[in-house]
Chains A and B, each alone.
Chain A
């Protein structure tokens, strides 16, 4: 039995197609859109007046968008798509050539499909003369070299370094100070009765209780905020430092930022389990590698864009820099003051401190020296075990 759908019903006809197409476009743009969402979106349009463009926008936004960051992308795509879907499709197809292949789902796996499709293209194309080929190659290389200058180049760890980092992280654990968490767990001594355990034990012994099981607050490590200087003067240290911290703090809640002239959030890279993958993603993310240091400005950025997410009164802050700051000293002092007031403790790791007779003469170093709770010399980063031991000692002093 077929019943013609009422006019404006978004579950049938052209509008339904458009919603699906729009949702797929959003998905390609990186929004987490699944088929349940698409169904919900179609359902949502039955609840509003689809003649009102703004209402449609708001309704679809409340279904498809789930983060503030996605709102802008959504609005742009909504404007593009619901003005003329074809234009948007073309646009997306141009941006992402593989989108075309999705229209006819291949029976074979995509790798096999690609392998089968590739040769005809090459044989059909007119073979370019040697000269032309050369020009193309040159252009490609120069472009990539230019891009490379800006990106960080943390080399991936060689085998012995990898082993060393692994072993150190295993053998010399970072004793991040622990504090009582709000949750409780079974314990021999505690301040609350464990009622459910008491019930179980009473049931075993015919309603008698021989002991009173207790619950105490769990211990949890302080969350970490790690700020790593990737400016020119710190190049030698940043890479191994990142690698070591990545392994050593893997069981701790942590937020990681690199700073030179600007601030880069490395938390995404630190989520990867493999240290090499972490380094290569960091390479992509850091765009101010080997430049100057403007720590004050980076902290302004941190405060305005991430402050509430990464800093709390329990946070332990590790700042890894030589203190050779080229930015405005008053900004640094103001922002660092804010940081140290917010955090539980601030620890400064300084590679220059290992020289005899080092005095914090640079303005930035003086500010850091004045405001942080503890400082530590990074003795010789080629010998990471020294660093791990020193960090271990230092963190024991943090309360």
Chain B
């Protein structure tokens, strides 16, 4: 926990426990949570403190095995085939064509073969990929190995520290879930968020940082929470703090909030709902 904090990531105790277990047991860690709570940032922080290389696989609809695991360099194979056909026997050609040098390594294979101290593999927004893709992941997540029919099975030299993140736009397959440890990342409490804002925006004044975190925390709590389609995450509050500093703001007032509301909310409806609530939101704590 302390080492994560030293690189500017402030986890709560439950998240720190989950990360500790993932590292000790060598299991992948599946992080779910609302957007902007720091799931991706955790992987970056882990790469920093373990001094491992961060390998990132951004998932998208239609992501295929050859984009994520490996692909044969067919063009080079064909050239070899043509060049060698007059001098070699078919068996020799076949053996030569399926060699690791004709293999294009993608993120998962790279992560397996990273030399010491290994890699941190971030499989980001795995819910964006389609269900067939999850099946490609199973062998990797369970055994840290990839089977290539022409070459055999490639096993990890050092098990990569694997982090999967999901925004829960759909439920993941149970087979994926049971190979992973699971943690639901929550919005940080006020003290932790204050620490994050101060760390990320060092030039912010104490007073403004307190006002920013208090304001954002109130937005996420009842009775204001239900009014918005999406509450701002930590990423948004940090961005907002940066925007306020850039505008040389000394203290929050309704005018400056209206002017910068676009940083906190990305929906027109939400911005228009915010305006009439401002007085209530800015009222001092009772």
Segment from A19-27, A63-71, A89-97, A282-290 that makes contact with B: A63-71
CA A253 – CA B226 in complex, angstroms?
29
In the complex the two chains form, is B20's CB within 8 Å of A206's CB? no
**CB-contact partner of A48 in B17, B85, B174, B184, under 8 A:** B17
Interface centre among A32, A44, A309 (most CB of B within 10 A): A44
Closest CB-CB distance, B90 to chain A, in whole Å?
8
CA A55 – CA B15 in complex, angstroms?
10
Instruction: Verify if B77 is at the interface (C-beta below 8 Å from A).
Output: yes
Instruction: Verify if B95 is at the interface (C-beta below 8 Å from A).
Output: no
In the complex the two chains form, is B81's CB within 8 Å of A48's CB? no
Contacts of A202 in B (CB 8 A): 78, 81
Contacts of B22 in A (CB 8 A): 62
Instruction: Verify if B157 is at the interface (C-beta below 8 Å from A).
Output: no
CA A199 – CA B60 in complex, angstroms?
28
**CB-contact partner of A47 in B24, B64, B180, B183, under 8 A:** B24
**CB-contact partner of A66 in B167, B178, B226, under 8 A:** B178
Q: Using C-beta atoms within 8 Å of the partner chain, give the interface range for chain B.
A: 35 or more
Interface of A is mostly: helix
Contacts of B60 in A (CB 8 A): 182
1/0 per position for A301-329, CB-CB distance to B under 8 A? Answer: 00110011100100000000000000000
Chain A residues bordering chain B, tally (CB within 8 A): 40
CA A58 – CA B181 in complex, angstroms?
11
Instruction: Verify if B14 is at the interface (C-beta below 8 Å from A).
Output: yes
- The number of residue pairs between A and B whose CB atoms lie closer than 8 Å in the complex comes to 104
Instruction: Verify if A54 is at the interface (C-beta below 8 Å from B).
Output: yes
CA A208 – CA B22 in complex, angstroms?
51
Q: From known contacts A58-B17, A59-B17, A206-B85, infer whether A198 and B27 are also in contact, taking CB-CB under 8 Å.
A: no
CA A303 – CA B30 in complex, angstroms?
25
CA A312 – CA B14 in complex, angstroms?
33
CA A154 – CA B274 in complex, angstroms?
44
Residue of A nearest to B172 (CB): A66
Instruction: Verify if A37 is at the interface (C-beta below 8 Å from B).
Output: yes
CA A57 – CA B37 in complex, angstroms?
22
In the complex the two chains form, is B13's CB within 8 Å of A54's CB? yes
CA A304 – CA B34 in complex, angstroms?
13
Contacts of B220 in A (CB 8 A): none
Q: From known contacts A47-B25, A183-B64, infer whether A34 and B74 are also in contact, taking CB-CB under 8 Å.
A: no
In the complex the two chains form, is B168's CB within 8 Å of A181's CB? no
1/0 per position for B180-197, CB-CB distance to A under 8 A? Answer: 111110000000000000
Contacts of A207 in B (CB 8 A): 78, 81-82, 85
In the complex the two chains form, is B168's CB within 8 Å of A308's CB? yes
Instruction: Verify if A110 is at the interface (C-beta below 8 Å from B).
Output: no
CA A124 – CA B24 in complex, angstroms?
57
Q: From known contacts A198-B74, A309-B168, infer whether A62 and B64 are also in contact, taking CB-CB under 8 Å.
A: no
CA A88 – CA B98 in complex, angstroms?
59
1/0 per position for B70-95, CB-CB distance to A under 8 A? Answer: 00101101100110010000000010
CA A32 – CA B177 in complex, angstroms?
10
Contacts of A203 in B (CB 8 A): 81, 94
CA A304 – CA B226 in complex, angstroms?
8
CA A58 – CA B29 in complex, angstroms?
14
In the complex the two chains form, is A182's CB within 8 Å of B61's CB? yes
Instruction: Verify if B116 is at the interface (C-beta below 8 Å from A).
Output: no
Contacts of A312 in B (CB 8 A): 169
1/0 per position for B116-155, CB-CB distance to A under 8 A? Answer: 0000000000000010100000000000000000000000
CA A34 – CA B178 in complex, angstroms?
9
Q: From known contacts A40-B27, A183-B64, A198-B74, infer whether A62 and B21 are also in contact, taking CB-CB under 8 Å.
A: yes
Residue of B nearest to A54 (CB): B13
CA A202 – CA B80 in complex, angstroms?
12
CA A304 – CA B29 in complex, angstroms?
27
Contacts of A48 in B (CB 8 A): 17, 20-21
* Shortest 10 CB-CB contacts between residues of A and residues of B: A182-B62, A195-B74, A58-B17, A66-B177, A58-B14, A47-B24, A62-B18, A62-B181, A66-B182, A207-B81
6 CB < 8 A contacts A-B: A47-B20, A47-B25, A48-B21, A54-B14, A207-B85, A308-B169
9 new A-B contacts at CB < 8 Å, known A65-B184, A195-B74: A44-B25, A55-B13, A57-B14, A62-B17, A182-B63, A183-B62, A206-B85, A308-B168, A309-B171
Binding site for B on A (CB under 8 A): 32, 34, 36-37, 40, 43-44, 47-48, 54-55, 57-59, 61-63, 65-68, 71, 181-183, 195-196, 198-199, 202-203, 206-207, 303-304, 307-309, 312, 338
